[in-house]
């Protein structure tokens, strides 16, 4: 099934749509399938549970096969030899790796395996990827932990995405009641503050705007701004809304995400307290992370949290396996004036509830990994005209930030941006040139070799030329 993107371009859009096989239709698999279907790809879903497959086919336009990904008959029925991408995301790392190996042997062009075990990720992941000829391995918990770690270094932010090895960032902020930005025109904000930044998107009442200079900010807005990290810090200090990076952190839930996050924090010198009610898990984490303080107890008990120093930490992160519990305990931490509260919420329908309670920093391993896969898929077709290098979902998935490589055959080389007729609801938010980042103005030109960062609120972009009318 092909979907019309509404964008005209010399390259046929059919060239971007691929045959993709997904093995494992659990929470992660369904999230990936949803993203791929929204892009118009032809998806085959494989799972050993007929009830799970029934749920998938009721919701999504996919061809389904009941079986396991290591059964050659199942892989043959799925026409694996013609697959552009084969993705294995069952609950077993070993099954995922073997499925991908067999798929590659049968002729699949690209293979992606979910590998979550920390023993593999810390000791032999590179070796496994090479020997199995994997195109990519994905670890939802590690990616989620990395997202949290980035935010803890700049706690004023609700979300951060990084381009070009930390030389350029997109930072999302929530404008609180009585925010110094409320009622301010964007053009006036740039005049008042010397930092070099660009407000590239605003989410208000569930709608995303690509603002111009006359746009007036309001309390409650979620804004995305782009700049190099030092300029972002300069702006936040000027606005007096900066927070110091977290030095003492409490983590509820010794999950895989909790382990990866705690390890990053301990290695960077942060004091970490981990609370979990499973004795065996606590013993394993304590042995693996001797630099962390591990507490055996039920974090749902407010008294325990207070006794362990909730009122003294810079950040509280709730990472249990239950969304409802994460939201309720995070709300309690928020009510106790913990400076930064981060909540893991996997179910999309719970996110408005969490944000309605004032919990503005939400992480979802499920959504994070579907974005990572989508980024890879969108970038894969460079050979037929698409030159997407990176793709991030921002504003709770309502907009995209893409990084394009500029080729010599781009038709608008060396033309000031003010003289180019762009389509609506897109913005060139940054240009990376010779490893230096710049916030563009109307007089800025695009040159061969540039990396151009584009924000899109309504369009699905495959090529930089798609942004031109």
Checking if the pLDDT of 98 tops 50, the result is yes
Top-tier CATH class for 383-467: alpha beta
248-338: in CATH 1.10.760.10: no
- Mean pLDDT on 332-340: 95
Residue-wise pLDDT for 32-49, tens only, equals 999 999 888 999 999 999
N- to C-terminal Cα distance for the chain?
Answer: 27
For tokens 């879903």, name the residue. Answer: 45
**166 pLDDT tier (thresholds 50, 70, 90):** low
Are 437 and 451 within 8 A, CB to CB?
no
Question: How do the domains of the chain map onto residue ranges?
Answer: 13-138, 160-239, 248-338, 383-467
Top-tier CATH class for 160-239: alpha beta
Q: Which tokens is 73 given?
A: 């008959």
User: 13-138 belongs to which homologous superfamily?
Assistant: NAD(P)-binding Rossmann-like Domain (3.40.50.720)
Distances (CA, A) of 322 to 3, 344, 347, 364, 368: 36, 9, 10, 12, 18
**88 pLDDT tier (thresholds 50, 70, 90):** very high
Residue-wise pLDDT for 218-253, tens only, equals 998 999 998 888 888 888 888 877 777 899 999 999
- Residue among 380, 342, 334 nearest 151 (CA): 342
Q: In what order do the strands lie in the sheet with 315-318?
A: 293-296, 271-276, 248-252, 315-318, 340-344, 361-363
Q: Do domains 160-239 and 248-338 have the same CATH topology?
A: no
């Amino acid at each position: 099934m092909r979907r019309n993107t509404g964008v005209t371009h010399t390259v046929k859009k059919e060239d971007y749509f691929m045959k993709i096989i997904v093995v494992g239709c659990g929470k992660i698999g369904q999230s990936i399938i949803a993203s791929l279907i929204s892009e118009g790809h032809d998806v085959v879903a494989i799972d050993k549970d007929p009830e799970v497959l029934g749920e998938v086919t009721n919701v999504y336009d996919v061809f389904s096969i009941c079986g396991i990904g290591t059964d050659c008959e199942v892989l043959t029925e799925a026409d694996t030899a013609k697959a552009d991408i084969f993705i294995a995301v069952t609950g077993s790392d070993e099954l995922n790796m073997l499925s991908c190996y067999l798929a590659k042997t049968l002729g699949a062009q690209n293979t992606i395996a979910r590998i979550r075990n920390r023993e593999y990720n810390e000791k032999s992941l590179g070796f496994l990827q090479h020997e199995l000829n994997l195109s990519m391995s994905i670890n939802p918990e590690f990616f989620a932990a990395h997202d949290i770690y980035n935010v803890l270094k700049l706690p004023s932010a609700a979300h951060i995405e990084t381009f070009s090895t930390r030389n350029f960032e997109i930072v999302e902020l929530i404008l609180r009641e009585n925010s110094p930005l409320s009622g301010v025109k964007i053009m006036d904000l740039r005049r008042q503050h010397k930092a070099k930044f660009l407000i590239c998107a605003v989410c208000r009442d569930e709608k995303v705007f690509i603002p111009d200079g006359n746009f007036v900010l309001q309390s409650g807005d979620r804004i995305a701004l782009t700049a190099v990290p030092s300029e972002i810090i300069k702006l936040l200090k000027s606005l007096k809304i900066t927070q110091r990076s977290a030095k003492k952190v409490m983590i509820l839930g010794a999950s895989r995400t909790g382990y990866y996050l705690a390890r990053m924090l301990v290695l960077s010198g942060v004091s970490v307290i981990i609370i979990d009610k499973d004795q065996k898990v606590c013993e394993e984490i304590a042995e693996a992370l001797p630099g962390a303080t591990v507490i055996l107890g039920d974090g749902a008990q407010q008294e325990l949290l207070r006794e362990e120093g909730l009122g003294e930490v810079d950040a509280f992160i709730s990472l249990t396996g239950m969304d409802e519990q994460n939201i309720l305990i995070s709300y309690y931490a928020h009510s106790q004036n913990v400076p930064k509260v981060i909540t893991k919420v996997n179910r999309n329908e719970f996110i408005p509830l969490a944000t309605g309670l004032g919990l503005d920093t939400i992480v979802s391993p499920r959504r994070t990994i579907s974005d990572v896969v989508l980024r890879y898929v969108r970038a894969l077709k460079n050979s037929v005209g698409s030159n997407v290098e990176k793709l991030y979902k921002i504003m709770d998935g309502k907009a995209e930030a893409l990084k394009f490589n500029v080729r010599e055959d781009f038709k608008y080389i060396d033309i000031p941006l003010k003289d180019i007729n762009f389509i609506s609801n897109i913005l060139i938010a940054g240009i990376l040139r010779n490893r230096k980042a710049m916030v563009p103005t109307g007089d800025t030109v695009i040159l061969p070799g540039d990396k151009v960062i584009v924000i899109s609120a309504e369009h699905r972009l495959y090529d930089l030329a798609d942004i031109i009318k």
